[in-house]
């Protein structure tokens, strides 16, 4: 019955689309060919086939023909995972995992989660789940082992220091926060938005309220690595920040544009926004709107460039046959800057220059006594990390061996022998990149804080608050045309 149901759902869905484009009379003939192909495959293919897989393949094929990577079919299982992401809630034990040289490690543990109560810690190496080794598992396979029904038990074995610990815990509903905040020196409120889920606007409202109670005089909003999410949630966040007026321009397939406005008054605070190449979709439009409507300063790298929106259509009752995510419109900033394929350009371009870093190829093992150009790169990397106590020479000296050993000890989960094999070189690269990112991030934060302090100073401490500072920047800014801030005396 379920197999037939998916075909019926597909037919009904396409009949609906046909009515919209004036092709209803032709659809029955077209769809009968689809049914004929299905019947032919089921009756004549030389191996047994699964009808549900055939129908899912048909839907995937139709969506693939659009050439749109954002229009896709979800199986019931994929749809359930997608909903977990949107709802910021899942059933699990509350750990964030990351790949490492020897498999998978725990990157962080959510406070109050079953994992936290059981005693799991960040940097624990996951050895096994329910006695099944995890070294060779991919992310999906490991996720399936960790997840299960509410109140079911799972056993984890983890390596910590020089011992293996085994802990049992019950899976529970895990809520994943999407907003983090704190008050920085200078009365600057810092708010990071991970994504736009169902609860994000409420989390943001609480963060903003708490920061205002702490007398925050400016806001630094971090949208880096934010992939977007629910546009309605982004609108609710925009409502809390922006003055009354347009915040997004949406254009549908018929060319008709809709301008959506916020009611105001927003917040009467200077705002800076951090963005990067992974700031996408709803996060991009919010960043652009803050720049155009609130005089905000954008810092970082050009954003991803996803300026199209999707609607979700469930197949069957409660998505029992999955769902379709289909692109239905494009969107632009209030001033009309099209984000799709272009992204939002920051006012202050600050990118990590990876090409200037001493990164190792890992193509061959480097060992004591060796003299070659790659050893020089190794020494430059170790010197950057503060581990090498001599000038780089290109010769693998005893001091180089000691520095490699120190790097191996920092990595924690690789052989410690002072020899730079492929794994060690990868870990040294990771250490160099991490250090460079931290330096770049610190510089970015300091730059944003300097600008915000200047805006606070312009308003004056004695007459706080004053009407929203707009000035030259807010009147002239366009997302596609970054300006030289030196000319505006922002530094």
pLDDT in tens, 362-396: 999 999 999 999 999 999 999 999 999 999 999 99
Average pLDDT over residues 275-301: 97
- DSSP annotation string for 376-436: HHHHHHHHHTT---S---SB--HHHHHHHHHHHHHH-SS--SS-B-HHHHHHHHHHHHHHH
**pLDDT-based confidence at 1, cuts 50/70/90?**
very low
Predicted confidence band at 483 (pLDDT cuts at 50, 70, 90)? very low
Lowest-pLDDT range, 148-162, 451-465, 473-487? Answer: 473-487
Residues with Cβ within 8 Å of 178's Cβ and at least 6 positions away in sequence, in order, are: 88, 193, 194, 195, 196, 197, 199, 200, 203
Nearest CA-CA partner of 180 in 230, 232, 223, 213: 223
Residue 117, burial from CB neighbour count under 10 angstroms (0-12, 13-18, 19+): middle
**Domains, the chain, with CATH or none:** 2-65 (no CATH), 90-175 (2.30.42.10), 179-351+463-488 (3.90.226.10), 360-434 (1.10.101.10)
| Mean pLDDT score across all residues of the chain | 86
Environment class of residue 481 by beta-carbon count within 10 Å: exposed (0-12), middle (13-18) or buried (19+)? exposed
Check residue 488 and give its pLDDT.
Answer: 24
User: Worst-scoring range by mean pLDDT, 13-22, 331-340, 400-409?
Assistant: 13-22
Q: Is the model's pLDDT at 227 over the cut of 70? A: yes
Is 147 within 8 Å of 89 (Cβ atoms)?
A: no
Mean pLDDT of 445-451: 97
Q: Reply yes or no on whether the pLDDT at 469 is more than 60.
A: no
The span from the CA of 78 to the CA of 63, in Å, is: 16
Give the mean model confidence (pLDDT) for residues 49-67: 90
Band (248; pLDDT cuts 50, 70, 90): very high
Extract long-range pairs of 2-6: CB within 8 Å, 24+ residues apart. Answer: 2/52, 2/320, 2/321, 3/51, 3/52, 3/55, 5/316, 5/320, 5/321, 6/52, 6/55, 6/56, 6/315, 6/316, 6/321, 6/322
Cβ-based neighbours of 236, under 8 Å, separated by 6 or more: 201
Condensed to tens digits (0 to 9), the pLDDT of residues 203-218 reads 999 999 999 999 999 9
**Distance of alpha carbon 366 from alpha carbon 375, whole angstroms:** 7
User: What does the pLDDT read at residue 472?
Assistant: 36
**Which residue, 85, 63, 127, is CA-closest to 315?**
63
> How many C-beta atoms lie closer than 10 Å to residue 203's C-beta?
21
pLDDT band at 22 (very low <50, low <70, confident <90, very high): very low
Region of poorest pLDDT, from 98-112, 350-364, 389-403:
98-112
Phi-psi region for residue 167, left (φ > 0), alpha (ψ -120 to 50) or beta?
beta
- For tokens 């790659």, the residue is 374
462 against 105, higher pLDDT: 105
The pLDDT of residue 78 is 87
| pLDDT(399) > 60 | yes
- The pLDDT score that the predictor gives to residue 204 is 98
The whole-angstrom separation of Cα 91 and Cα 241 is 33
Residue 26 contacts residue 18 (beta carbons within 8 Å) = yes
pLDDT of residue 154: 95
**Is the separation of the CB atoms in 38 and 51 below 8 Å?**
yes
Q: Tokens in use for 381? A: 């990397």
Dihedral over Cα of 418, 422, 427, 432: its sign = positive
pLDDT at 480 over 50: no
Query: What is the pLDDT averaged over residues 57-74?
Result: 92
**pLDDT value at residue 361:** 94
pLDDT, position 89: 67
Q: Is the full-model pTM beyond 0.85?
A: no
* Cα distances (Å, whole numbers) of residue 413 to 104, 123, 160, 312, 388: 11, 10, 10, 43, 21
pLDDT computed for residue 4 by the predictor: 53
């Amino acid at each position: 019955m379920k197999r037939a149901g998916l075909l019926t759902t597909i037919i009904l869905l396409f009949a609906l689309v046909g009515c919209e484009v004036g092709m209803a009379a032709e659809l029955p003939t077209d769809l009968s060919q689809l049914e004929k192909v299905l019947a032919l495959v089921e009756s004549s293919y030389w191996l047994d086939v699964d009808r549900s897989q055939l129908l899912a393949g048909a839907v995937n094929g139709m969506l693939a023909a659009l050439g749109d990577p954002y229009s896709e079919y979800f199986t019931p299982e994929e749809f359930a995972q997608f909903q977990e992401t949107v709802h910021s809630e899942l059933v699990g034990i509350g750990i964030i995992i990351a790949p490492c040289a020897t498999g998978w490690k725990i990157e962080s543990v959510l406070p109050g989660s079953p994992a936290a109560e059981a005693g799991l810690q960040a940097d624990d190496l996951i050895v096994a789940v329910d006695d099944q080794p995890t070294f060779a598992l991919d992310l999906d396979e490991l996720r399936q082992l960790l997840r299960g029904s509410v109140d079911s038990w799972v056993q984890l074995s983890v390596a910590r220091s020089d011992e293996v610990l085994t802990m049992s815990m019950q899976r529970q509903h895990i809520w994943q926060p999407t907003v983090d905040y704190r008050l920085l020196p200078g009365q600057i409120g810092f708010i990071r938005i991970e994504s736009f889920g169902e609860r994000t606007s409420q989390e943001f409202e609480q963060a903003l309220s708490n920061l205002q109670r702490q007398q925050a005089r400016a806001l630094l909003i971090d949208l880096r690595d934010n992939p977007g999410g629910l546009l309605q949630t982004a609108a609710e966040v925009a409502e809390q920040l922006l003055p009354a007026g347009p915040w997004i321009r949406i254009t549908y397939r018929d060319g008709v544009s809709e301008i959506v406005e916020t009611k105001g008054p927003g917040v009467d605070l200077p705002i800076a926004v951090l963005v990067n190449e992974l700031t996408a979709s709803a996060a991009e439009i919010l960043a652009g709107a803050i720049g155009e409507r609130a005089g905000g300063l954008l810092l970082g790298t050009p954003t991803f460039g996803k300026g199209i929106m999707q609607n979700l259509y469930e197949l069957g009752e409660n998505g029992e046959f999955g769902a379709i995510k289909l692109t239905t419109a494009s969107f632009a900033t209030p001033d009309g800057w099209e984000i799709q394929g272009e992204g939002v350009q920051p006012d202050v371009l600050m990118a990590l220059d990876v090409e200037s870093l001493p990164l190792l190829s890992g193509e061959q093992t480097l060992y004591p006594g060796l003299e070659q150009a790659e050893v020089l790169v190794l020494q430059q990397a170790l010197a950057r990390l503060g581990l090498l106590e001599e000038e780089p020479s290109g010769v693998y000296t005893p001091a180089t061996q000691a520095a490699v050993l120190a790097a191996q000890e920092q990595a924690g989960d690789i052989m410690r022998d002072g020899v730079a094999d492929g794994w060690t070189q990868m870990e040294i690269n990771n250490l160099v990149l991490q250090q460079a990112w931290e330096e770049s991030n610190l510089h970015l934060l300091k730059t944003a804080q300097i600008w915000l302090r200047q805006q606070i100073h312009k308003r004056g401490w004695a007459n706080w608050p004053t009407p929203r500072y707009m000035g030259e920047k807010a009147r002239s800014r366009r997302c596609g045309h970054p300006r030289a801030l030196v000319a505006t005396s922002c530094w």
